[in-house]
Structure 1
Amino acid sequence: MQLNVTGHHVDVTTSLKGYVEKKLDRIVRHSDHVTDVHCILTVEKLRHKAEATVALRGATVYADATEADMYAAIDALADKLDRRVKKHKEKLVDHHAVPAPKNGA
């Protein structure tokens, strides 16, 4: 997974980038098809916004979160991305497959 973290009106420190990387590692655990993650951190007055685009094999998942604190916004973003990646993974699984008949019946 390649992670790009950029900031608008905020300096992306090593601790902030490390926090984003730690939180987004959870997404990789759910789907091993994650190729690229682009995260944008924005500060506008008292609003802290974190948004990310996750490139999966065959799809792109986007989420954003706005909170009063940047770390809270990153937490909310990670939760949203986690749910959306899980949902995408469930769509790929064929739930309508007919089970194979048993030989003994």
Structure 2
Amino acid sequence: MNLKISGHHLEVTPALREYVITKLDRVLRHFDQVIDGNVVLSVDNIKEKDKRQKVEVNLHLKGKDIFVESCNGDMYAAIDLVVDKLDRQVVRHKDRLQGHAHEAIKHQPVPVPGIEIPPQ
């Protein structure tokens, strides 16, 4: 997986980079068809004393793009929140891909005259 981590009004330290990579490994554990990802870490100064830490993740999967963002006062907490959201969406996408809405015709029982097959 190609992963690009960038900062907006923020220097991405090696500790932040490593934290993001270890957290995103949890997503890759559920779904291995991830092509690439883009993570943007940013700081918005709303007021002098209030700083809002924002994390945006754009993940390009096979057949779908997933975008998730999260804001918090602490960057590490914002990363945790965005990874939780991303994990739920990736698992949901995987379930949709693997979900079989209908049973295949070859697996349906063939009715034979004179013999009753109990429903399963």
TM-score (norm 2): 0.81
What is residue 27 of structure 1 aligned with on the other side?
27
Residue 4 of structure 2 aligns to a residue in which SS?
Answer: strand
- Per-residue displacement from partner, 1:14-41 (whole Å, max 9, x unpaired)? 1100000000001111111001010000
1:82 aligns with 2:87: yes
**3-state SS of 2:78 partner:** helix
Q: How many residues align?
A: 104
Deviations 1:31-79 (A, max 9, x none): 1100101000000121000010001011100100000000000000100
Higher-Rg structure is: 2
Q: Which has the higher contact order (CA 8 A, sep 6+)?
A: 1
Which amino acid is the alignment partner of residue 83 of structure 1?
Answer: R
Distance 1:43 1:94 in 2: 40
**How far apart, in 1, do the equivalents of 2:73 and 2:17 lie?**
18
**Matched AA of 1:50:** V
CA RMSD of aligned residues (A): 1.5
Matches within 5 A, 1:66-81: 66-81=71-86
Give, in whole Å, the separation in 1 of the partners of 2:36 and 2:5.
11
Partner of 2:4: 4
Runs of 4 or more above 4 Å deviation? none
Question: Residue 51 of structure 1 aligns to which amino acid in structure 2?
Answer: E
